[in-house]
Structure 1
Amino acid sequence: MLNFKGTIVSALLIGASIISQSALATPSAGIEATLTGYEFSSKKNVVDVNVDLKGSGLFGWWGGVSGDVAAGAYSGTWSNGDSFAAFCVELTQNFRTFGKSAVYTEGTFSSTVESNLTNLANKYYSFVDDAISSAAFQVAVWEIVSEKSDNLNLDKGKFEADPVWNGFLWFGSYDAESKAAISLAKTWLSGVNDDSILATGDYSLTYLKNKNYQDLVVFTSIAAVPEPATYGMLLLGMGVVALVARRRRGESIRF
């Protein structure tokens, strides 16, 4: 399934790459999309986390969300059949039923939120390859979007998240996958604005909004386009190879 994490495009295929990216680029305003399921799991085994998103009412009780929720990327398709992966932006609404389409418009994040989401993707999205890492990335997205600042901490603030507790009062234990996802999310959030941690990819983001269903964010890999000097070196190299091959063919017919 194509999830826009990207591929390495060689200079020889740059023309095809431009055509492909034009066809698969994330659509803009008024786009119809259909969520088809979770990217790395089913409804039955998606990783759950315990969240507390404070609302705007007294003590944050009104308009907030508290309890165990499913965390992880959605898979989906655009109206033209191309596939994508998206993460939930708002916890206060339900997602559109899997298999049912919805129309989204393109929104904008604040500069701080957009910068933090981009840093998160550039440094860590390439590591999202299973249900646990997908859940961790989703939790990190919720933290960044909810806090709207550089103070990213799952243990305090407007948004908090913990592993799911299986048991009653002190009798039980934390769900292992949930605990792993929260731990990984904390590690990634601590590195979002740490300049010593290098990027592993280059991503743009698209914010898709719908007044009736969860808003989504899609991260799209930006393919590297060779510099003009690279093209010159490539052509020069091809010329040298062709010259050597020609001379060898010429030498092979001498008696």
Structure 2
Amino acid sequence: MVRFNVFSAAVLAMTAASAASAQTVVARLDGISPSRVLSMTTDGWDHDRDVRTGVNNFTVIDSPVLLTGQFNAFCIDVHQTIQLEHTYTYTVTPIELAPLPGDGMGQAKADLLRELWGRHYFDSLLSNTNGSAFQAAVWEIINDPGLNLNFGSFQMSGSETTIDRAQDWLDELNGDHAYFAPVYALTSGETQDMLVPTPGSAALLGIGGLAMLRRRR
């Protein structure tokens, strides 16, 4: 698990959000890995749907400041679709205001996502179970205030190991600001909105090699 210096993370998040205002990112979805197919149901659907659930792997095509090369992201909009090898234009958006269209998830859910990212993002890259579990936990936070993947308005099934891991991670969330990671949303009117880490922190803050995120295990 990774702990974030609270002051540094807060300053970084605010500064990055200001610098990112009105920025766009053009990116191509190359794959979803690590991942697993799970069954999902939510309010407004008349049946379960099987979905590829995991780490979305993008390549940046064009970005004025924030992103270069490849980056990973997690879907925050279950009501949209996305296609592999397609290129999309995203707007950089504070996660409190995403997903769009809509009124946004608000501060409480945004903070849960920050904590989940800080605790388990690196775990999500280690296996199909973990990648799928992280995505399931993200969707649960956004779509169901009960934070229980087996009950409520949003549910997932199909791999007991994956669901149990996601639920364990959800149960850990206690509002500990030491784990809050600087993340933001990429929003689009034509495809799924994405949760991504704040990139280029040193460049955005103009501090060169000074580490604004001090990690310790």
In the superposition, the TM-score normalised over structure 1's length comes to 0.60
Shift of 1:127: 1.4
Task: Tell me if the contact between 1:26 and 1:206 (Cα under 8 Å) persists in the aligned partners.
Answer: no
Q: Distance in 2 between matches of 1:66 and 1:217?
A: 24
Tell me what 1:98 maps to. 84
2:26 is aligned with 1:38: no
Task: Tell me if the contact between 1:39 and 1:85 (Cα under 8 Å) persists in the aligned partners.
Answer: no
In the superposition, the TM-score normalised over structure 2's length comes to 0.69
Q: Distance in 2 between matches of 1:225 and 1:194?
A: 21
Instruction: Tell me the amino acid that sits aligned with residue 160 of structure 2.
Output: K
Q: Distance in 1 between matches of 2:21 and 2:181?
A: 15
Q: 138, 142, 148: which one pairs with 1:141?
A: 138
Question: Which of structure 1's runs of 4+ aligned residues deviate more than 3 A?
Answer: 25-28, 220-227
Shift of 1:202: 5.6
| Contiguous gaps of at least 5 residues in structure 1 | 1-5, 7-21, 41-45, 165-177, 228-255
> Aligned Cα RMSD in Å?
3.0
Instruction: Tell me the amino acid that sits aligned with residue 165 of structure 2.
Output: L
What are the Cα deviations for residues 104-127 of structure 1, in whole angstroms up to 9, with x where unaligned? 112332101110000111111121
Task: Tell me if the contact between 2:111 and 2:175 (Cα under 8 Å) persists in the aligned partners.
Answer: no
Instruction: Tell me the amino acid that sits aligned with residue 53 of structure 1.
Output: T
Aligned with 2:182: secondary structure?
A: strand
Q: 51, 73, 83: which one pairs with 1:86?
A: 73
Aligned with 2:111: secondary structure?
A: helix
Q: Counterparts of 1:203-218 in structure 2 under 5 Å? A: 203-218=181-196
Task: Tell me if the contact between 1:89 and 1:216 (Cα under 8 Å) persists in the aligned partners.
Answer: yes
Aligned with 1:79: secondary structure?
A: strand
* Identical-pair percentage: 27
Task: Tell me if the contact between 1:140 and 1:185 (Cα under 8 Å) persists in the aligned partners.
Answer: yes
Question: Which structure is higher in RCO with an 8 Å CA cutoff and minimum separation 6?
Answer: 2
Q: Distance in 2 between matches of 1:47 and 1:226?
A: 31
Task: Tell me if the contact between 2:26 and 2:87 (Cα under 8 Å) persists in the aligned partners.
Answer: yes
Task: Tell me if the contact between 1:29 and 1:106 (Cα under 8 Å) persists in the aligned partners.
Answer: yes
What are the Cα deviations for residues 42-72 of structure 1, in whole angstroms up to 9, with x where unaligned? xxxx4111211112xxxx64xxx72221110
What are the Cα deviations for residues 156-214 of structure 1, in whole angstroms up to 9, with x where unaligned? 2221112x2xxxxxxxxxxxxx221111000000011265xx96x66211211111111
Shift of 1:27: 9.0
Q: 62, 73, 93: which one pairs with 2:55?
A: 73
Q: Distance in 2 between matches of 1:53 and 1:31?
A: 29
CA 30–182 in structure 1, closer or farther in 2 if over 3 Å, else same: same
Instruction: Tell me the amino acid that sits aligned with residue 43 of structure 2.
Output: K
Q: Distance in 1 between matches of 2:131 and 2:20?
A: 20
Count, aligned residues = 174
Q: Counterparts of 1:119-130 in structure 2 under 5 Å? A: 119-128=115-124, 129-130=126-127
Rg larger in 1 or in 2?
Answer: 1
